[in-house]
Amino acid sequence: MWDIGRTVADLGALVLPVNCAGCRDRRPGLRQGVCPECVAALDGLRPGPVRPTPAPDGLPPCVALGPYAGPLREVLLAYKDHGRHGLARPLGALLAEVVAVSVGAVRPVLLVPVPDTPAAARARYGDHLGRLARHCADRLRRSGWPVEVRPALRALPRPDSVTLDSAGRAAAATAAFRARRRWRPTASDAALVVLDDIVTTGSTIAAVSRVLTATGRAPAVAAVLAATQKRHRW
């Protein structure tokens, strides 16, 4: 069985800043990125299947580490929006746990991260999913998985999904991605896994899946760190 305790231990190995990324508590002498209580909360999460209601056309099976709430939500926000890039390694390792559960037995895997738009990458000082994918792949390889990260898609400019309702998300996602010219799907037994950080309506992952399917390789599953609770069945 996958050792998730080893994964979340990475969260306690981070040094500075002194406020916990999970609960934002400033404790005197705290030298960890995430406090022991939040590490314990993350340690208790187990990946499971999720499905938005209604699910958009083309959405592959989705597996999430947990609901977008509590310490998981706060750590993701700290990483994405507050410059805590040191969290990429433990979050990537947590994502590896999701991939391992979603794929099952050890086998070759192609990881395709959902790409940031150029504007989002500039605002976050780099492609945040790309960083997570690299750390995810490293952890899987150390556990004996043959893994390759394939940046198969490019993202076109689109509105920030935070400002959109479900219909707006679907419309924006439909025209949001293109396959890269160098992406050539190969016939193999590798499981193609789409990576994302959060699934809400499923529109983004469904759009990615449709583009990949049109190139000849349909994703086997999508692995995400968190799923919003309102629209998902657990």
Give the tens place of pLDDT for each residue, 101-141: 999 999 999 999 998 876 665 666 668 899 999 999 999 99
pLDDT number for residue 20: 87
pLDDT number for residue 116: 82
Decide: 33 and 14 in contact? Cβ < 8 Å: yes
Which among 195, 158, 197 is positioned nearest to 178, based on CA atoms? Answer: 158
pLDDT number for residue 96: 97
| pLDDT at position 175 over 60 | yes
Lowest mean pLDDT among 5-9, 31-35, 102-106, 212-216: 5-9
| pLDDT at position 232 over 80 | no
Please, which residues have CB within 8 angstroms of residue 229's CB and are 6 or more apart in sequence?
67, 68, 69
- pTM (predicted TM-score): 0.83
185-200 burial by CB neighbour count: b if 16+ within 10 A, else e?
A: beeeebbbbbbbbbbb
